[in-house]
């Protein structure tokens, strides 16, 4: 067999091995995606209700009594929590969210003097450094965020810095899970709380649940033991819930993106195997034809 056909055989074998790996990774990502989607949908209603509560609370209380309601006219310093992944092989997932951060600041706050980036996920840290963003902190992220305690250090840092007026606004950049086929990078304002921010995380909300959670009928809020103590306890908790939900949305999007990325890789490997097999058969047939021609020519010469 000619040397060229042996090279093609080796390539076919190599691509088949790669195809087995990508197929296995697709199945693993699909299993992780189902669990991540179940988590994000189970907590989304609670996150929506807390956000809806604060939107109505802003309209009913004196917002000057708490720093979380402080609205600066001239936004000079902002902080962005960039939620990314720890692993690659998920297409342009991390580069898209990093680019969304840059585009969002240029579009909505072009006058910003300083933008501090806080990353949650090793790939986000790499993207921030590659794009020369002002990375001030990086928090370790587990592949699966089991509970909100994992993000408590970030929340504590944000609460402290915003209360001390270090930042005029705080955002979270994450990938919003719309469906297994569609995920959108999004930048959401976390602080300060404002009545104009009627923006929920996620897009799958049952109509009956939305009607059930409607708080428009509430005419006033009663605070026990005092308004100050309730707000000091409730508002950081709300911030934690919103950030935790953003992480869950991002993780569901991550596994969906990786599953389809691995599926595309498997499909591409299958097509490559078919093409290489066709080429191998053509080379092999040409070799056989050449050998038959040589035998025929030798036989004719002997006669």
Residue 171 and residue 179: Cα distance in Å, rounded? 23
Q: Is residue 300 part of a domain?
A: no
This prediction's pTM: 0.82
Q: Using the predicted structure, report yes or no on whether residue 16 has a pLDDT greater than 90.
A: yes
pLDDT for the residue numbered 292:
81
The CA-based angle 277-279-284, given to 5 degrees, is 95
Please state, for a pLDDT cut of 70, what percent of the chain lies above it.
89
Residue 223 and residue 220: Cα distance in Å, rounded? 10
Q: What confidence tier does 91 reach under pLDDT thresholds 50, 70, 90? A: confident
Please report which residue ranges of the chain form alpha helices under DSSP H.
3-60, 93-108, 122-130, 152-163, 207-212, 227-302
pLDDT for the residue numbered 209:
46
Report, as an integer, the average pLDDT of 111-138.
Answer: 90
| pLDDT tens readout for residues 185-228 | 999 989 888 766 656 666 544 444 444 445 455 556 777 777 77
SS3 of residue 1 by DSSP: coil
Q: Is residue 58 part of a domain?
A: yes
Structural domain range at position 137: 44-257
Tell which residue, 154, 159, 149, has the closest CA to residue 231.
Answer: 159
Q: Is residue 16 part of a domain?
A: no
What contacts 15, CB < 8 A, 6 or more positions away?
269, 272, 273, 276
Q: Using the predicted structure, report yes or no on whether residue 163 has a pLDDT greater than 80.
A: yes
Q: Is residue 148 part of a domain?
A: yes
Q: Using the predicted structure, report yes or no on whether residue 253 has a pLDDT greater than 50.
A: yes
- Residue with the bigger pLDDT between 160 and 73: it is 160
pLDDT for the residue numbered 284:
86
Tokens of 55: 């939107």
Q: What confidence tier does 62 reach under pLDDT thresholds 50, 70, 90? A: confident
SS3 of residue 159 by DSSP: helix
What distances in angstroms separate CA 271 from CA 16, 91, 95, 274, one per listed residue?
11, 19, 27, 5
pLDDT for the residue numbered 5:
80
Tokens of 283: 């080379």
Q: Is residue 79 part of a domain?
A: yes
Contact 194, 66 (CB under 8 A): no
pLDDT for the residue numbered 303:
66
Q: Exposed, middle or buried by CB within 10 Å (0-12, 13-18, 19+), for 101?
A: buried
pLDDT for the residue numbered 170:
93
Which CATH number goes with the domain that contains 222? 3.40.1380.10
Please state, for a pLDDT cut of 90, what percent of the chain lies above it.
45
Q: Using the predicted structure, report yes or no on whether residue 242 has a pLDDT greater than 60.
A: yes
Whole-number mean pLDDT of the chain? 84
| Number of domains into which the chain is organized | 1
pLDDT for the residue numbered 214:
52
Q: Using the predicted structure, report yes or no on whether residue 3 has a pLDDT greater than 90.
A: no
Report, as an integer, the average pLDDT of 78-88.
Answer: 93
The mean-pLDDT minimum among 106-115, 125-134, 265-274 falls in 106-115
Instruction: Characterize 157-174 residue by residue with b for buried, 16 or more Cβ atoms within 10 angstroms of its Cβ, and e for exposed.
Output: bbbebbbeeebbbbbbbb
Q: Is residue 123 part of a domain?
A: yes
């Amino acid at each position: 067999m000619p040397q060229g056909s042996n090279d093609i055989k080796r390539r076919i074998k190599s691509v088949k091995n790669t195809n087995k790996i990508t197929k296995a990774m697709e199945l693993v990502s699909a299993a992780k995606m189902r669990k991540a989607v179940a988590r994000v949908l189970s907590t989304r209603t609670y996150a929506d209700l807390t956000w809806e509560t604060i939107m109505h609370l802003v309209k009913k209380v004196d917002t000057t009594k708490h720093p979380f309601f402080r609205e600066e006219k001239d936004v000079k310093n902002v902080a962005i929590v960039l939620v990314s992944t720890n692993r690659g092989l998920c297409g342009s997932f991390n580069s898209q969210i990093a680019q969304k951060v840059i585009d969002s600041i240029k579009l909505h706050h072009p006058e910003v003097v300083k933008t501090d980036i806080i990353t949650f996920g090793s790939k986000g840290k790499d993207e921030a450094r590659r794009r020369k963003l002002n990375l001030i902190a990086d928090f370790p992220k587990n592949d699966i965020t089991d509970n909100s305690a994992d993000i408590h250090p970030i929340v504590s840092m944000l609460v402290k810095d915003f209360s001390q007026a270090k930042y005029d606004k705080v955002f979270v950049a994450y990938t919003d899970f719309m469906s297994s086929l569609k995920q959108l990078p999004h930048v959401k304002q976390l602080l300060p709380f404002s009545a104009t921010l009627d923006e929920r995380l996620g897009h799958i909300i049952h109509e009956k649940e939305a009607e059930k959670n409607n708080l428009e009928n509430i005419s006033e809020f009663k605070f026990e033991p005092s308004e100050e103590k309730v707000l000091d306890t409730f508002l950081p908790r709300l911030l934690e819930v919103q950030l935790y939900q953003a992480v869950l949305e991002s993780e569901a999007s991550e596994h969906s993106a990786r599953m389809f990325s691995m599926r595309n890789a498997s499909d591409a490997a299958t097509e490559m195997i078919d093409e290489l097999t066709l080429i191998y058969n053509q080379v092999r047939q040409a070799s056989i034809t050449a050998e038959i021609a040589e035998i025929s020519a030798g036989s004719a010469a002997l006669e």
